[in-house]
Amino acid sequence: LQHKAEHSRVRVRPRLSTRRVILVRNSNMTAHDTPTFACAYAEWAELLSACEDYAVLKGWRFILSDFMNLSVNEGAEVAAAKERAMPMALEYGDRVRACAAASSGGARSRLLDEFEMCQRLVSSEAVYNSMRATIEAVGLGLSKGACEESGGDALAYQDMTQPIEVVARRLRAYHAHLRSSGVLEERTKQVLHASFVVEFGLEHGMPELRDATAEATLTEFMTRLGEWE
């Protein structure tokens, strides 16, 4: 009870946004660290490949104004990366604007389908990161009870019918599984690519998708946390 009382004053209020996913990445990474480009989003692969150096230098953000005002001095490396990205960024800008205009009339395209898939991934990752940050902040899920479950339930952190202590233990176990299995690196790469696609699409008029599933998960998680506090 004393432990619970000590942490009950902590208030973490994560917000869900498809515009930005904050991920921890190697601070020594350079724009040329990836020897071979691979992408899970076929319709956006050419853009991601052309913009990769720029994206790495910008923390995987797309900033439209960077390509509207080339006179800004950001250093030779950034300038060279923008120059390499420019032709494909302009081509995709035209494609995305046309796709966005067509979608307002109900038309579908593979470009739009993959954009929406990226938005859902970014939203779900934002929720996942918010939940992990929250349990770290309040010190949940560190008890030895984490070893008591076995099988699929031990990693089923999405089950919000469970008490927050169980959810936290499962969340820690799931993340440890990602790290030990080597999946985390590939997952991180896909999320970074998706984040760039989302920012590019939104900057060029693509409709923002509201992910009801991700929002419901975050709401239920905060409800369980409130019951514990």
Q: For 186-208, how does the pLDDT look when each residue is reduced to its tens digit (9 = 90+)?
A: 999 999 999 999 999 999 999 99
Instruction: Give domain status of residue 136, yes or no.
Output: yes
- Which residue in the block uniquely carries the two structure tokens 């494909």? 88
Instruction: Give domain status of residue 29, yes or no.
Output: no
The predicted pLDDT at position 77 comes to 94
CB atoms within 10 A of CB 161: 8
Distance CA 40, CA 42 (A): 6
Which stretches of the chain score pLDDT less than 50?
1-36, 146
| 220, burial (CB in 10 Å: exposed 0-12, middle 13-18, buried 19+) | middle
Instruction: Give domain status of residue 107, yes or no.
Output: yes
Show Cβ contacts of residue 11 under 8 Å, excluding neighbours closer than 6 positions: none
Show Cβ contacts of residue 201 under 8 Å, excluding neighbours closer than 6 positions: 96, 100, 115, 118
Instruction: Give domain status of residue 76, yes or no.
Output: yes
The boundaries of the domain holding residue 200 are: 35-228
Instruction: Give domain status of residue 202, yes or no.
Output: yes
pTM of the model: 0.78
The predicted pLDDT at position 39 comes to 82
The predicted pLDDT at position 152 comes to 64
Instruction: Give domain status of residue 20, yes or no.
Output: no
Instruction: Give domain status of residue 9, yes or no.
Output: no
The predicted pLDDT at position 59 comes to 94
Domain count within the chain:
1
